[in-house]
């Protein structure tokens, strides 16, 4: 009985600590994680129509550390593979909070210049190109695309710091106008190869869409 009593008290203390930790978690951190998740989900939904243009989307993947010597790991929200090439898509959910805007040749969110965000995405696309080079058709590289979820952002589409910036509703029209660099058959085979090469970030193989 004494052991049971001590166990009960200890368990109650652990529960209390867990609840206290949850209570003191900053709402900003929770809301940021929520915005990221909703942005990724909204982008996944927006790119679904591209399958009719011959694109395959691989979601939530990772180029693992050490997969290619000298290349750091790359977290991949969405990788689009189709006749127009291979595209690394990153989502930003800026529907609330400071307003995103183009000022000259820069992307701002409120007073925050997002130049480093664009440069990092461009670098990750170049690293991914190097890592996937043996699988890519000659002359094809991974192109970075920033998909911005916002009430308004003009002028878009826009090309800054090596990155194409667009709104989710612009995806079908922008990709339909791109020059083809491979056949639909080549694109499908490449998508299969990259599907096998790039593991899921979460540890569970996601469904291709």
- Mean pLDDT (the chain, rounded): 85
pLDDT at 204 > cutoff 60: no
Whole-structure pTM value: 0.80
What's the confidence (pLDDT) of residue 2? 46
In terms of average pLDDT, the best of 10-14, 36-40, 53-57, 202-206 is 53-57
Amino acid 52: pLDDT: 94
Confidence of residue 25 (pLDDT cuts 50, 70, 90): very low
Closest CA to 149 of 81, 97, 112: 97
The radius of gyration of the chain's CA atoms, rounded to the nearest angstrom, is 21
3-state DSSP call for residue 104?
coil
* pLDDT greater than 70 at residue 17: no
> Contacts by 109-118 with C-beta closer than 8 Å and gap 24+?
115/161, 117/92, 117/146, 118/146, 118/160, 118/161, 118/162, 118/163, 118/165
The residue extents of the domains of the chain are: 32-197
Conformational region of residue 203, where left means phi above 0, alpha means psi within -120 to 50, and beta covers everything else: left
Residues 167 and 153 sit within 8 Å (Cβ to Cβ)? yes
Q: What is the pLDDT of residues 87-132, one digit of tens each?
A: 999 999 999 999 999 999 999 999 999 999 999 999 999 999 999 9
Contact between residue 88 and residue 79 where contact means Cβ atoms under 8 Å apart = yes
Give the CATH number of domain 32-197: 3.40.1350.10
The closest alpha carbon to 181, from 133, 141, 145, 148, belongs to 141
pLDDT tens digits along 135-190: 999 999 999 999 999 999 999 999 999 999 999 999 999 999 999 999 999 999 99
Burial 105-125, CB ≥16 within 10 A → b, else e: eebbbeeeebeebbeebbebb
What pLDDT sits at residue 36? 61
Query: What is the distance between the alpha carbons of residues 200 and 99, in angstroms, rounded to a whole number?
Result: 32
CA distance 46 to 26: 31
| pLDDT, greater one: 46 or 2 | 46
User: What pLDDT sits at residue 158?
Assistant: 97
Torsion of CA 32, 37, 43, 46, to 10 degrees: -120
Q: What single string gives the DSSP state of each residue in 49-63? A: GGGGGT-EEEEEEEE
39: confidence class by pLDDT, cuts 50, 70, 90: confident
């Amino acid at each position: 009985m004494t052991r049971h009593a001590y166990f009960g008290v200890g368990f109650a203390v652990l529960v209390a600590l867990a609840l206290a930790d949850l209570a003191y978690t900053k709402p900003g951190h929770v809301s940021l994680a929520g915005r990221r998740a909703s942005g990724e989900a909204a982008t996944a939904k927006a790119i679904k129509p591209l399958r009719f243009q011959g694109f395959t989307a691989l979601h939530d993947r990772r180029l693992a550390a050490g997969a290619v010597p000298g290349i750091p790991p790359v977290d991949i929200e969405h990788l689009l593979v189709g006749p127009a090439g291979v595209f690394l898509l990153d989502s930003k959910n800026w529907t609330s909070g400071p307003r995103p805007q183009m000022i000259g040749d820069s992307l701002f969110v409120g007073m925050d210049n997002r130049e480093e965000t664009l440069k990092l995405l461009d670098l990750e696309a170049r690293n991914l190109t190097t890592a996937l080079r043996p699988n890519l058709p000659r002359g094809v590289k991974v192109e970075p695309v920033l998909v911005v979820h916002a009430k308004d952002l003009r002028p878009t589409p826009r090309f800054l710091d090596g990155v194409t910036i667009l709104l989710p509703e612009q995806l079908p029209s922008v990709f339909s106008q791109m020059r083809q660099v491979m056949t639909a058959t080549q694109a499908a085979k490449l998508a299969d190869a990259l599907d096998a090469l790039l593991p899921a970030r979460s540890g569970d193989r996601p469904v291709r869409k």
